[in-house]
C-alpha cells in the first residue's frame, strides 16, 4: 500500500508533497486499503519508506488527525480512526442530480452567438474607445480614498452619488424627472429583470413578453417560475389586442418600446397608450427595458412609457452595458414610490448589488462630466458605423433580403428572403461572422427569418469587408433551397 502511495507522488510537479501524501493516505482510508484501527508506521519510519522529509510526513499526519481520519495516541502510535465500515463502502452509482423544471428550462435558453467579439455581435458596444486610462485613474483614486461605507454592507439600493448621477442622466437623456431615492442600482439590466420578476410576481403568474423578444428577459422570468405569454410584434410594437385575447390579466408586462428587441421597431404612441390602459385594467406592472435608448439616429426622442404613466405603473430599466462596458455589470431600475423601501430591503438577499467600488467610480465618472462626453463620442462613432453597415448591406446583401428600419440602438435586423436563418447564421459563423438568427428569439411566431447585425463594436473600415464575407456565405445554393 505504501509503495502505491510512493509511486503516486509527483515529486517534480510543484504541488506540496505534504498535500499529496495527505491525499494518498486519505484515499487509502476511504477505499478500505487502510482499515479502521490499523497502526501506521512512526513518522520517522514512514518518511524513510517514502523517501520524504520527516516534517513533510508529520504535516500530512497532523492534517489527517485534524480531519478525523487518524487518531494519534502518543506512545501507542497513530492509528486509522474507527470509522463505520458501512460509511466507507462505495455508494451505489446514481445518475447525476437532476435540475429543477425551472433550472432545466433556464439552461435550455441558448444565448450564445458563437463568439464574444467581432462582426457583428449584437449588443456589444465600442470597446475600442473605452476610456481605460481615465477609468483606471478614477478607480485608483477611489481605492486611495476608500471609506468604511465602500467596504461594508451599506447602500444596498445603490451608492447615493451614483443614484443622483443616474437621476440626472435620465432627466437629460430621456426626459424622466425622478428623485435619486427612487433609483435602484442593480447588476446590469439582467439583474434588474431577475430581481423585479421575483419581487413583483409569484411563481405561476403570467407575464406578457414580446415575440420575438429578448432572451435575457425570457431567462429572468423563467427563473422566477412565471408563465410566459408570448405576444406578437408588428410595425407598431407589441400587439396589445393579441395579449388581451390570450391573457387578459397578466401580472407583468415586459416591453422594449424605444427599440424593440430584436426587430428594431419603435412602439407608436397609440400602441403605448393602449398598452398602459390594458395594464391599468389588469393591475399589472409594466417593465420598460430601455437597453440602448441613448443612441437615436433619426427623428426626435420618443416619450418613455414611464413618463406616460403618472400613477407609477411603469418601471423603467436601463443599463451601462451598451453605453460603457458590459463587464461593468451596472444597471438601474426607476421605481414608483411604493416600491422604494421593500426593494431596498429585498435586494440585500439576492446578490444583485454591484460592488460599491465600481459604483463609486462610475459616479465620479458621471458627476465629473466624463460620461456625457463619452456618450457624445460614441454617438458620432456609432452614426458612422451604422451608415457603413447600411451602405454595405444595400450594396452586397440586396439579393438576400433587406434591413428592417430602426431609428435607435447599436444593432440592426436583416430580414432574409426565402432562406432558413438558423442555417444562414451557421454559414456566417463558418465564414468568421457572428450574425445570430432572429428565429432563436421567437417562442411561437413562425414568420421570423433574419439575422442580427451589431455594428457598434466594428470599426467602420472593417464593416464593408465583413458584409462581403457574409454575402459570400449566404450565396451558398443550399441555403436558398431551404426557403
Give the CA diameter of the chain: 90
CB atoms within 10 A of CB 477: 6
Kindly indicate the confidence band of residue 116, based on its pLDDT and cuts at 50, 70 and 90: low
**Which grid coordinates belong to 359?**
459604483
Q: Which of 114-128, 268-282, 403-417 has the lowest mean pLDDT?
A: 114-128
Give the integer Cα–Cα distance in Å for 278 and 272.
10
Per residue in 291-301, pLDDT (tens digit) is 887 888 887 77
Query: What was the pLDDT predicted at 483?
Result: 41
Alpha carbons 227 and 105: distance in angstroms, whole number: 12
Tell me the H-state helices in 397-456. Answer: 421-430
What domains are there in the chain, each with its CATH number? 2-88 (1.10.10.10), 148-368 (3.40.640.10), 373-481 (3.90.1150.10)
- Do the Cβ atoms of 41 and 34 come closer than 8 Å? no
Q: Which residues contact 103 (CB under 8 A, 6 or more apart)?
A: none
For 170, the enclosing helix (H) or strand (E) is helix 160-174
Q: Of the ranges 58-62, 112-116, 165-169, 231-235, which one carries the lowest mean pLDDT score? A: 112-116
Query: For residue 141, is pLDDT > 80?
Result: yes
CB atoms within 10 A of CB 198: 20
Residue position matching grid coordinates 423585479: 196
CA distance 21 to 74: 21
Contact present, 80 and 34 (Cβ < 8 Å) = yes
Residue partners of 267: CB distance under 8 A and separation at least 6:
236, 237, 238, 255, 257, 258, 260, 275, 302
pLDDT of residue 482: 44
User: Given a cut of 80, is residue 89 above it in pLDDT?
Assistant: no
Distance CA 5, CA 26 (A): 10
Half-sphere exposure of 199 (CA within 13 A, CB side): 25
Lowest-confidence pick of 73-87, 309-323, 377-391, 442-456: 73-87
Helix (H, G, I), strand (E, B) or coil at 334: strand
The predicted pLDDT at position 95 comes to 61
* Cα separation, 208 vs 452, whole angstroms: 23
Burial class (CB in 10 A: 0-12, 13-18, 19+), 346: middle
pLDDT tens digits, residue range 362-394? 999 999 999 999 999 999 999 999 999 999 999
pLDDT band with cut points at 50, 70 and 90 for residue 93 = low
* Cβ proximity of 199 and 226 under 8 Å: no
Distance CA 84, CA 67 (A): 15
Instruction: Find the helix or strand (DSSP H, E) in which 53 lies.
Output: none
Residue 187 has φ and ψ, to the nearest 5°, of: -80, 80
Residue whose entry in the numeric block shows the C-alpha cell 437623456: 173
Q: How confident is the model at residue 218 (pLDDT cuts 50, 70, 90)?
A: very high
pLDDT bracket for residue 4 (50, 70, 90): confident
* Alpha carbons 427 and 425: distance in angstroms, whole number: 5
On the question of pLDDT at 359 being above 90, the answer is yes
Q: Using only C-alpha atoms, what is the Rg of the chain?
A: 29
| Residues 343/335, Cβ–Cβ less than 8 Å | yes
Mean pLDDT of the chain: 90
H/E stretch holding 458 reads none
Q: Which ranges in 71-129 belong to alpha helices (H)?
A: 85-88, 101-107
How far is residue 421 from each of residues 374, 397, 399, 418, measured CA to CA in Å? 35, 14, 15, 9
Amino acid at each position: 500500500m505504501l509503495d502505491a502511495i510512493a509511486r503516486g507522488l509527483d515529486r517534480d510537479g510543484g504541488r506540496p508533497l505534504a498535500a499529496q501524501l495527505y491525499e494518498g493516505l486519505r484515499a487509502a482510508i476511504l477505499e478500505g486499503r487502510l482499515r479502521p484501527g490499523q497502526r501506521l508506521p512512526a513518522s520517522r519510519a514512514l518518511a524513510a519508506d517514502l523517501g520524504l522529509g520527516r516534517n513533510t510526513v508529520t504535516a500530512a499526519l497532523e492534517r489527517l488527525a485534524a480531519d478525523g481520519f487518524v487518531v494519534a495516541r502518543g506512545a501507542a502510535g497513530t492509528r486509522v480512526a474507527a470509522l463505520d465500515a458501512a460509511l466507507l463502502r462505495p455508494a451505489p452509482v446514481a445518475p447525476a442530480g437532476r435540475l429543477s423544471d425551472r433550472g432545466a428550462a433556464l439552461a435550455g435558453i441558448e444565448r450564445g452567438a458563437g463568439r464574444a467579439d467581432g462582426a457583428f455581435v449584437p449588443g456589444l458596444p465600442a470597446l475600442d474607445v473605452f476610456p481605460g486610462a481615465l477609468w483606471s485613474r478614477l478607480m485608483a483614486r477611489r481605492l486611495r480614498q476608500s471609506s468604511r461605507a465602500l467596504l461594508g454592507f451599506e447602500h444596498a439600493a445603490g451608492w447615493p452619488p451614483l443614484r443622483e448621477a443616474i437621476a440626472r442622466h435620465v432627466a437629460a437623456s430621456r426626459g424622466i424627472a425622478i428623485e435619486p431615492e427612487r433609483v435602484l442600482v442593480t447588476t446590469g439590466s439582467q439583474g434588474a429583470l431577475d430581481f423585479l420578476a421575483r419581487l413583483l410576481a409569484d411563481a405561476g403568474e403570467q407575464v406578457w413578453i414580446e415575440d420575438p423578444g429578448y432572451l435575457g428577459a425570457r431567462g429572468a422570468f423563467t427563473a422566477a417560475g412565471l408563465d410566459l405569454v408570448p405576444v406578437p410584434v408588428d410595425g407598431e410594437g407589441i400587439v396589445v389586442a393579441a395579449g388581451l385575447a390570450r391573457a387578459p390579466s397578466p401580472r407583468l408586462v415586459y416591453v422594449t418600446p424605444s427599440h424593440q428587441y430584436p426587430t428594431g421597431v419603435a412602439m407608436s404612441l397609440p400602441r403605448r397608450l393602449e398598452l398602459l390602459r390594458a395594464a391599468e385594467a389588469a393591475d399589472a406592472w409594466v417593465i420598460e427595458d430601455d437597453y440602448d435608448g441613448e443612441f437615436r439616429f433619426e427623428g426626435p426622442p420618443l416619450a418613455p412609457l414611464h413618463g406616460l404613466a403618472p400613477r407609477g405603473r411603469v418601471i423603467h430599466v436601463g443599463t451601462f452595458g451598451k453605453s460603457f462596458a458590459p463587464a461593468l455589470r451596472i444597471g438601474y431600475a426607476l421605481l414608483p414610490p411604493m416600491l422604494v423601501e421593500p426593494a431596498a430591503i429585498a435586494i440585500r438577499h439576492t446578490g444583485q448589488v454591484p460592488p460599491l467600488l465600481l459604483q463609486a467610480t462610475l459616479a465620479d465618472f458621471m458627476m465629473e462630466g466624463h460620461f456625457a462626453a463619452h456618450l457624445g463620442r460614441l454617438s458620432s462613432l456609432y452614426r458612422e458605423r451604422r451608415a457603413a453597415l447600411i451602405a454595405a448591406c444595400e450594396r452586397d446583401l440586396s439579393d438576400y433580403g433587406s434591413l428592417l428600419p430602426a431609428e435607435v440602438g447599436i444593432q440592426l435586423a436583416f430580414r432574409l428572403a426565402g432562406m432558413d436563418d438558423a442555417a444562414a447564421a451557421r454559414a456566417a459563423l463558418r465564414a468568421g461572422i457572428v450574425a445570430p438568427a432572429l428565429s432563436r428569439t421567437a417562442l411561437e411566431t413562425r414568420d421570423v427569418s433574419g439575422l442580427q447585425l451589431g455594428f457598434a463594436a466594428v470599426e467602420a473600415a472593417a464593416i464593408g469587408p465583413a458584409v462581403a464575407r457574409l454575402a459570400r456565405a449566404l450565396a451558398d445554393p443550399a441555403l436558398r433551397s431551404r426557403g
